Amino acid sequence: MPLAQDRLYSLPPHSTDEHRGIMAGPKGRRVHINPEFPEPRKVTQACQALKDGELIGWPTDTGYALACGLYNRRGMDTLRWTRGLEKNHPFTFAVADLSSMTRYAVIEQGTFRRLKRILPGPYTVILRSTPQVPRVLHRKRRHVGIRVIDHPVSQALMTAYGEAIITTSAIHEGQHLEYGEALKDAFGHVLDQILDVDYLPRAESTVVDMSSAIPDVLREGAGEVTWLEN
């Protein structure tokens, strides 16, 4: 069913009770976490939150982002209407390493060698999807955007979770949010917890389509692209 695109913070007209279920209870709990050596207990709590169908804010190597678990359909719907995204907006997968990436994407040998040179890092890689990509995301979609994020907190959480994490940038009214407090102010009504590392500068990931033999840079960002010349 269509999502409300013109009402950023009101509940969508469909599945009202389900979305109220998501929004029940205390929201926007900030969990201050060490950005370099994340405390295992806090990582475990965030991992359990994802498994329980909750939404979180988390730090990445390109700034704060919003996230939910791979099979959390309601969570994805909530992220879409909160961000004002189209109902078929493609979310990014975040995984711990290249081995995990192969569960969701078809990676040819030459592409694998190139990816080993740049990941983890500030790149979103577009690849052909495998049957492991849930149809709940979009049954006609044949490609997937995947990240291996280079941030200690993200790495710890992706490893603990064991599946891809669905993620999207924390953008509010056209502005990228650079503080955990700002994330709470903007999205605390839908996020169950926020992994807060205080100030986190924002950058764009470099987006590269590597679904064919010739890589295509769709957006230049924090990740350099000179490796494509070799």
Domain locations in the chain as residue ranges: 16-222
Q: What's the pLDDT score for residue 7? A: 28
Q: How far is CA 84 from CA 145, 196, 207, in A?
A: 20, 24, 22
Nearest to 145 by CA among 132, 164, 126: 126
36's CB contacts (< 8 A; 6+ apart) are: 152
Q: What's the pLDDT score for residue 136? A: 63
The residue-averaged pLDDT of 105-120 equals 94
Structural contact between residues 67 and 50, judged by C-beta atoms closer than 8 angstroms: yes
Strand, helix or coil for residue 70? coil
Residue 29: its H or E element: strand 29-32
Give the CATH architecture of domain 16-222. Answer: Alpha-Beta Complex (3.90)
Q: What's the pLDDT score for residue 9? A: 30
Q: What's the pLDDT score for residue 131? A: 86
Q: What's the pLDDT score for residue 133? A: 86
Share of the chain above pLDDT 70, in %: 87
Q: What's the pLDDT score for residue 87? A: 82
pLDDT at residue 20 greater than cutoff 50: no
Strand segments, DSSP code E, in 61-122 are 63-69, 92-94, 105-106
pLDDT at residue 4 greater than cutoff 50: no
